[in-house]
Chains A and B, each alone.
Chain A
């Protein structure tokens, strides 16, 4: 009997453990898992909340509303005063069509369901603001966004503009866009439009970066073989690797090129030689240092830009294609703006963000931006050498269309071959080169040469933004 009692106590001890584990898990669940579940788009309770709550307003950096709720009669209506330029970025929230864009990513905040401090909830109830969601302030400059959007003139493409010092997103344009107000009248048209206006190309569009990727090839080569700066490369105008012939653009003559000329006129054949000198491993790790192959953990969903590791044996063709940004490399316009940012900031990589702050109905401000130490991914001396070369591209190379009188612009063009027709026109750059205030990447799909088609868009965006800084 004594042993039986002892065993019974052991079993009771196990039960103590089991029941305590239930309570501990439930505490953990309530404290940590809760937020994610409440905001899940599968959660039907959110729509109930939507009926009771006045959804918060989304403002741009200067307090201009971009998504607002108005009450017409007794019906709440979501309006989008920004119009077409903002559709893919802001998205929509509609009971019938679901949610997209920032309206989706910020749904929990806009409905105010993320607040879990019971004291705050109680205060909100007492002050009568419990039925209001939080307001969101973006880093976007809505005038810059509208200007940039109109520069696309309806062509398919995208643009991302960043503040090189902080990573704040100044404009995030996807063209063609759409006006999310009165969605029910145009839904079918938007859905069936072959240009796919519902997609945010700036964050979700994955394009071959073409020659704009040569910035990374150059960085890899300069880091591993600094002597190439003084080297002279001969090219017959084409290069043949394992039977595959890659040519230079038509207006490039065969002959001797130094690094500056090769970059300025974007010689593919010379950059294939430079890529070979850097080697597949260096090129690959430099691309990762610039942010490729890493999921961008920021406040909006961004597709991951990828560069597969070139095989170390028999990967000559792949390495050659990678060196000039063709082949299997895919990048979002936002990622390419980050590439410009790294050079502009003297070798620092920062995470871009679009949310400046969130303001609760009680007036409390929450910062969503996690302060992070910028990662140094490139030596400043190397970044400055590349910057000097990029300045020459705009001064007297392929990037001339982006030239601005009185302001030094640094840039790189790209004309990315793709299976859908004419080349995608790329331009990535920043200005002013001495003290960069804005870093931009733009792509115009199937438009042809990068300098002529994407260059002027970037030029106007830079000019507009730098002027607005002057007038402030």
Chain B
């Protein structure tokens, strides 16, 4: 059984590498005159990927190889699109991928042992609040939200790390399955959400809030709290619409982008044009116009991907993301302890909601909020932190397996 699974994993990762070589070869053909440079990218990527695969398989006992394969598969699609859009961004991003793989292995290994240490939940809460307050105090504004910190030549989005500390805080606090003071807990969740709103990171605020609801519901089975939480979010959204101009602009751009195509509707309309152009089968790699889409390397990378890979490619990508969430949920279900189960659930929920929010936003199913598409969007914080989250999932899985095997 194990051997058979291993053979499947080996085939899958080889297929991923093959897809990469084909795609980068196509990009080589597209460059005039013919240049082998994209192929070097494929070589670099598969080297890192195979090294990571080999290491995880041999160092991490009882791990889930699917997590690494799925995330690398998605990262590669992102890198292919980035090379297509801007080769310079590709060179940076592949370094982030390498760093992400390293962080994945480290966090997997560390978490496996660390989970046995009991840490006060308020340490995590304090960390979350400090991380989220940092950009408000000395951050820089980018794309309308003030959630970045600039350090020398690198900029960093602390909210990416806060996602992890926030999930760990809630998992630790609710491990007993009981809420000591509902008022206090709501206050803590609201404080986090409000800090994100102050940074005008509406997508982030929604992600944190909904993830908190999911964890609270899973831990306590309190349907009434979940319903009240959703109702409160709905009310807040209505108030936000009337009180804040930037909320209104997003909602209006969603409801009717055609009212002001050169202005507030511009981004979403360009995104929709790209997806429409792709149709069922896509224009083919290198044949679309990602340069027409604003922020195509970050928020709108899914639209660029859809144009060239079509509905078929986009639907397949959604399925791959779904598999990743499914693996996370599975790890949560197999966890031996409620803290681990809640932490795994929190991380899987954070991933799932983030993916739904950004894909739903660029296809105009829901209003557009600027969150990144994990593993695909250009950016170091998102790439590395996504890998660390995945590493935590992997560590939780190992800790469960370890006991099983030891016992």
Contact = CB atoms under 8 A, between A and B. Distances in A.
Interface stretch (A6-14, A142-150, A225-233, A307-315): A6-14
A11 B365 contact: no
Contacts of A294: none
Given A11-B217, A45-B289, A30 B345 contact: no
A22 B365 contact: yes
A26 B315 CA distance: 8
Contact of A34 (B279, B333, B345): B279
Contact of A116 (B214, B272, B279, B341): B279
Interface in A10-27: 10-12, 15-16, 18-19, 21-23, 25-27
Interface stretch (B137-145, B244-252, B317-325): B317-325
Nearest to A35: B276
B273 A27 contact: no
Interface stretch (B40-48, B61-69, B71-79, B352-360): B352-360
Interface residues of B, number: 43
B305 to A, nearest CB: 12
B277 A27 contact: no
B356 A4 contact: no
A37 B280 CA distance: 15
A1 B176 CA distance: 10
A8 B277 contact: no
B82 interface: no
B273 A45 contact: yes
B311 A30 contact: yes
A9 B322 CA distance: 14
Interface of A: 1, 3-12, 15-16, 18-19, 21-23, 25-27, 29-30, 33-34, 37-38, 40, 42-45, 48, 116, 118
Nearest to A18: B356
A11 B345 contact: yes
Contact of B279 (A9, A21, A30, A43): A30
B275 interface: yes
Contacts of A4: 177, 218-219, 221, 338, 341-342
Contacts of B338: 1, 4
Given A4-B341, A22-B356, A42-B261, A12 B329 contact: yes
B123 interface: no
B280 A8 contact: no
B332 interface: yes
Contacts of A34: 276, 279
B268 to A, nearest CB: 11
Question: Residue among A25, A45, A118 with the most chain B CB within 10 A?
Answer: A45
Given A37-B272, A37-B273, A15 B221 contact: no
Given A4-B221, A18-B356, A45-B273, 5 more contacts: A8-B341, A8-B345, A19-B356, A40-B273, A42-B269
Nearest to B315: A23
Given A30-B280, A44-B289, A23 B218 contact: no
21 contacts: A3-B221, A6-B221, A7-B217, A8-B218, A8-B332, A8-B333, A11-B329, A12-B326, A15-B352, A16-B322, A19-B322, A19-B325, A22-B318, A22-B359, A23-B319, A25-B360, A26-B315, A29-B363, A37-B273, A45-B289, A116-B280
Contacts of B333: 5, 8-9
Contacts of A6: 221
Contacts of B345: 8, 11
Nearest to B326: A12
Given A12-B326, A37-B273, A45-B273, A19 B311 contact: no
B168 interface: no
B349 interface: yes
Nearest to A39: B276
Nearest to B359: A22
Interface string B272-307: 110111111100000001001000000000000010
A118 B280 CA distance: 8
Interface string B207-238: 00000001001110100000000000000000
Nearest to B218: A7
Contacts of A19: 318-319, 321-322, 325, 352, 356
B314 interface: yes
Contacts of B341: 1, 4-5, 8
Contacts of A10: 217
A5 B217 CA distance: 11
Contacts of A21: 360, 365
Contacts of B292: 44-45
Contacts of B363: 22, 25-26, 29
Nearest to B291: A44
Nearest to A116: B279
A15 B360 contact: no
A118 B269 CA distance: 25
A166 to B, nearest CB: 34
Contacts of A16: 322
Contact of B277 (A3, A15, A33, A38): A38
